[in-house]
A and B are shown apart, each in its own frame.
Chain A
Amino acid sequence: MGRGRAARTPRADRSRPTVPDAELRDLLDHLGRLLAKEYVALLKKVKTPETMDSQEAEQ
């Protein structure tokens, strides 16, 4: 019987992958894109000096 954290962690937890699988990665990326769209739209509405500069630069 080993010692330390690994020995105390339930087997089901140890078998869980820590890196997202392909299906999960697609969902996470989709979520990131949706968030970006929403966040940037709201940030542009705020029209802080920084965002104004960026918008002007884009134009």
Chain B
Amino acid sequence: MIAFTLTQAARALGVAQHKLIHLCEKKVVVPDVRDARGRGSSRKFSKRNLFDFAVALEMRRLELPVSFVHAVLRVLGTFELEAKKMLRGFALPESLLAAGGPRLALIILDGERVYFSVATAGHHDRAFGGIAIHPAARGRAQHRSAGRLQQAEMANALAAARARVELDLSRIARDLEEQLEARSSS
């Protein structure tokens, strides 16, 4: 496993180190290789950690709450574990880069409900989720379901939403790959 120091990770992602430290201290990203243990120790990150950072940074740039970042990274963690069981060698972020492969996107409607979509060329997007991350804060009884939505259900949800945020997770994976390649060749 390739290990990145905090300095290398910050350079690869084009951000200040303190932003990555903040995400580690909030336990949004837990270093795969080595966590900090007191003064003088240093964290070391895997490429998978860098992908989590890239997603988290993009979400934070849009001022989405840390709780949403936690939730999204939890889905991606389970997604990777389950996909590995079905397809040996599956790994994030690499498996999001397959030529002609599905595009994975995160959609947040009205700053409340989280959806994911999987899309391939020539087919309708398949949408999943609709989970409200903070139901209690809004006086709701539950988080809603997390199943697959019919095409019309997602269309209705999109039509009813006042605000829509969409992150192309496949694109984030590709950009990270290109940044790492550019750094290794320079």
Contact = CB atoms under 8 A, between A and B. Distances in A.
A36 B78 contact: yes
Nearest to B78: A32
Interface in B1-18: none
B83 interface: yes
A57 B118 contact: no
Interface stretch (B44-52, B140-148, B158-166): B140-148
Interface residues of A, number: 38
Interface string B65-92: 1110011001111111111001111100
Interface string A24-46: 11011111111111111011111
B60 to A, nearest CB: 12
A50 B177 CA distance: 17
B135 to A, nearest CB: 8
Choose among A24, A35, A51, A57 the residue with the greatest number of B CB atoms under 10 Å from its CB.
A35
Interface in A1-56: 12-13, 15-20, 23-25, 27-40, 42-46, 48, 50-51, 53-55
Given A18-B70, A46-B101, A58-B88, A33 B82 contact: yes
A30 B66 contact: no
A19 to B, nearest CB: 6
Interface in B94-143: 95, 98-102, 104, 116, 118, 120, 126, 128-129, 131, 133-134, 137, 142-143
Contacts of A46: 98-102, 120
B27 interface: yes
A21 to B, nearest CB: 9
A18 B147 CA distance: 23
Which are the 6 A-B pairs with shortest beta-carbon distances?
A: A32-B78, A36-B82, A31-B146, A36-B83, A32-B79, A42-B102
15 contacts: A18-B70, A19-B67, A20-B67, A20-B70, A20-B74, A28-B74, A31-B75, A33-B78, A35-B104, A35-B116, A36-B83, A37-B82, A38-B118, A46-B102, A57-B89
Interface of A: 12-13, 15-20, 23-25, 27-40, 42-46, 48, 50-51, 53-55, 57-58
